[in-house]
Amino acid sequence: MTTASAPAKAILLGEHTALYKNPVLVMALDRRAYAEVSRRDDGQVILTAPDLGLEKAPIERHRRGTALVRKAVESVGGGGWDIEVRSDIPIASGLGSSAAISAALIMALRAELRQDTGVKEIAEASWECEHVVHSKSSGVDPFAVSYGGLSVYQDGGIEALDADDCPKVVAAHCGKDSDTWEIVEDVDRERERKPERFAKFLKLCGMLVEDGRRAVMEGDWRKLGGLMNDNHEALKGIGVSCRELDDFVEAARGSGAMGAKLTGAGRGGVVIALVDEYSKWNVHKTLSKMGGKIMEADVSEEGVRLE
């Protein structure tokens, strides 16, 4: 039996632009998904995933939520498996739960088979699973959760940023789920309809990420917060925010957050607020009074790992 885990992630700057090969500033968060696997002789794949509402059963009997697991098993050459998935990461929220599950699962399966468990190989195989789950994926989620830490991701490459005293993030789920597949397709149609406007959006976000990289290197977290605010406005401009997210963003800023924005595909899911020790409680209290499901998180230096 082998168990592996991988962290959640939050995009600090640049979602949606990654699909067009722009850079993204991304942070792994200290909430994890776990996959425990052992081999079976009968060729069956038996899956249990209580946090996803899947009771123990042969994979073909589950009516939903199995495409990722099928793809992960296929990536190691198939075979019979007992698989148990547990996750502390809310699903459909923009925090990379599917990438964390696939990275953990692929590492566990590979380790059990004594195959290569290099981080790059895990990230690339997990990227294949993301294509199945989200129609297309820039790779930012599988790379961020596989490598961990704070990093700039661009088109299949990742650069780790060495940051001192990285602040906490308060993540608040606004009550609506986010459907990455649908939103990514919508954004692409918007790009085709208004190419010049979209090119401006890409350029602006590229500059925000470049400034963000500098702010991280200088430990200028207020500056980073301001850039996150600007990024939220830009994301609103391409139609991927919603009233609930905007209300949370405004409330977090009003409660002293250094910056706040939607994270991930948008139109629901989570708002992330960059907080210091003083603003943390205020932001937490305000957003939970508004009905937000709150998660406080630190950066997770560790990416995918064997348990």
Q: Does 19 interact with ligand MEV (rule: CB under 6 A)? A: yes
Q: Does 264 interact with ligand MEV (rule: CB under 6 A)? A: yes
Rounded least distance, CB 227 to ligand MEV, Å = 17
- Binding ligand MEV by CB under 6 A: which of 8, 12, 13, 16? 16
Residues near ligand MEV (CB under 6 A), total: 13
Which is nearest to 233 in space by CA: 245, 224, 221, 215? Answer: 245
Rounded least distance, CB 209 to ligand MEV, Å = 12
Q: Does 238 interact with ligand MEV (rule: CB under 6 A)? A: no
Q: Which is nearer to ligand MEV, 62 or 134 (CB)?
A: 134
CB 274 within 8 A of CB 173: no
CB 263 within 8 A of CB 272: yes
As annotated, the active-site residues are 141
Q: Is 77 left (phi over 0), alpha (psi -120 to 50) or beta?
A: left
CB count, 10 Å around CB of 224? 26
User: What is the distance between the alpha carbons of residues 294 and 150, in angstroms, rounded to a whole number?
Assistant: 21
- Binding ligand MEV by CB under 6 A: which of 140, 152, 271, 299? 140
- The angle at the Cα of 233, spanning 230 to 239, to the nearest 5 degrees, equals 150
- Binding ligand MEV by CB under 6 A: which of 184, 249, 283, 295? 184
Residues near ligand MEV, by CB under 6 A: 11, 15-16, 18-19, 137-138, 140-141, 180, 184, 264-265
